[in-house]
A and B are shown apart, each in its own frame.
Chain A
Amino acid sequence: MNPILEFKHLHVEYPAKELGQTVKTAVKDLNLSVFPGETFGFLGPNGAGKTSTMNVLLGFVPPTKGSAYLFGVDVREPIARQRIGYLPELTYYYKFLTAEEILRFYGKIFQLKGAQLESRIDQVLKLVELDAARKRQIRTYSKGMQQRVGLAQALINDPDLLLLDEPTSGMHAIGRMTMREIIQRLKNEGKTVFFSSHELGEVETVCNRVAILYQGELKIEGKVSDLVNEHGMNLEQVFLKIIGYPTLASV
């Protein structure tokens, strides 16, 4: 089976902000593949390189070395992003547009037109429960509603691969549950989900496979059940052990 998402010897460096350093290495020689139908958790503490990896995947930052592919196409080609949906950690949308207008705008970018576009807008607005507020400008929405607009825009093209960057960050309990239900529903539909997160309990619940990144290096990768069985502890403890954090038991 061909991977849907693939990193080959990915290396990302930034100009260093600290004195005496010329470059800061964010990701070192990352090799990773995600296959169709998987729900993949991309884990790591702050500064591990998760966001840099996502930035390369979405074409925001060019890789220093190596390459990344979406559906076998180099991510530097815009067409590689035709079948993906991306939900950023925080919602940033044109606040002067209504939810309907923003979905129409993004839908047009995915070459959706006429009745097909309008029907898709109806579907996603119903899915994220924003149907009643569709004619209101986004500036009038609450934070939770804005996050749901974010999810709606990520689903407008009925993507085969969904990239979620900290999808439940800053959400209250009901919001988290709704997000988990939506991810579960997409998983049941056979969609591939790749998400970066700190929420290990959540990752353990929804993911088939995980990778743990620490200081830019891939430390471990495998099925959640295999990792848990192999180490005889839950995913959170495995994570802490891998990044070398002293757990209460070890102390």
Chain B
Amino acid sequence: MNNVLALSSVVIKELCRRKDFYVLFVLTALITLMLGSVNFFNDDRIARFMKEACLLLIWISSLVIAITTTARQIPAERENRTIFPLLAKPVSRGELVGGKFLGCWVASGICLLVFYLFFIVVSGSREQVWQISNYLQAMWLHWVFLAVVISMVLMGSIIFAAPSSNSTICFVTVVGILLLGRHLNKVAVSLPEPSSTILSVVYFIIPHLEFYDLRDLIIHNLGLVPWGAWALATLYGAAYTAFFLLGTWLLFRQKSLA
């Protein structure tokens, strides 16, 4: 565990010292602040629309930060050859995968926390309603969503040589699941065999990332998700994260680095 923590601290330090990360980070924070604070004709619907735009921006930015940060971790270690002095120490490849995952997840979590803080302060001060539990539920599930995405990208970084191709494929997959995932079973019913069975199998195999999107509940103040469902969604995300991390380790374990 000591090695995993040490490795994750290097990932976080790298992110803190990269300029491109700050550009996205500051831009998102500023736009959130601006969108959240505008008030057109005291119209509630417009305020809701602005909230929706802010949350969409937070989702896109956090996804981009998580995917781009994770996709370059292992390929950059190999390309810059920093992996050699590292693995010449008593560090297992499993610990390397664990450290990279933890570092990226914590770094994404810090960004998420700042984004949500901006959003909560701005929208709370406008509406004079402080639904802290709702925001905490949404933020936690958003973070679990990022855990699944990060572990998936980490596995992709072992399979695809170039971080850019990995980032693109993972981004398209995640957005595809978010937009279409919930409809696959309905489409499957209307298809002939064997397409119907294949699509049904795909529906049950893919991680249903749309479970973690609580934006509508926040925008329309619809109240809390039952805590049991919230816990189940967390477990579901943890299972997929563990599956992807196991896959990453199995692929990376015997890989020749020469």
Is B17 among interface residues, defined by CB-CB distance under 8 A? yes
Partner of A109, one of B3, B84, B257: B3
CB under 8 Å from chain A, chain B span 43-99:
80-82, 84-85, 87-92, 95
CB under 8 Å from chain A, chain B span 1-23:
2-3, 5-6, 9-10, 13-14, 17-18
Q: Please list 13 pairs of residues, one from A and one from B, whose beta carbons are closer than 8 Å in the complex, sorted by A's number.
A: A60-B256, A61-B256, A61-B257, A78-B95, A80-B90, A82-B90, A86-B88, A88-B84, A92-B82, A92-B84, A96-B18, A97-B13, A108-B3
CA distance A152 to B186 in the complex (A): 62
B85 A61 Cβ-Cβ under 8 A: no
Partner of A55, one of B5, B13, B90, B258: B258
CA distance A108 to B81 in the complex (A): 20
The A interface, classified by DSSP as helix, strand, loop or mixed, is mixed
Nearest 8 pairs between A and B by C-beta?
A: A86-B88, A92-B81, A60-B257, A108-B6, A78-B92, A96-B17, A58-B88, A78-B90
Residues of A within 8 A of B10 (CB): 94, 97, 105
Residues of B within 8 A of A110 (CB): 89-90
Residues of A within 8 A of B2 (CB): 108-109, 111
Partner of A81, one of B6, B17, B81, B90: B90
Chain B interface residue bracket vs A: 20 to 34
B14 A94 Cβ-Cβ under 8 A: yes
Is B42 among interface residues, defined by CB-CB distance under 8 A? no
A160 to chain B, nearest CB (A): 13
Residue count of chain A within 8 Å CB distance of chain B: 33
Residues of A within 8 A of B190 (CB): none
Interface string of A73-88 (1 = CB under 8 A from B): 0000011111010101
Give me 11 other A-B pairs in contact (C-beta within 8 A), A62-B256, A78-B90, A110-B89 excluded: A58-B84, A60-B256, A78-B92, A81-B90, A82-B90, A86-B85, A88-B88, A90-B81, A96-B13, A97-B13, A105-B9
When A96-B13, A105-B10, A108-B2 are in contact, do A88 and B81 touch as well, CB less than 8 Å? Answer: yes
Beta-carbon nearest neighbor of B256 in chain A = A61
CA distance A62 to B258 in the complex (A): 10
Residues of B within 8 A of A105 (CB): 6, 9-10
A109 B6 Cβ-Cβ under 8 A: yes
Is A106 among interface residues, defined by CB-CB distance under 8 A? yes
CA distance A78 to B82 in the complex (A): 17
Beta-carbon nearest neighbor of B15 in chain A = A96
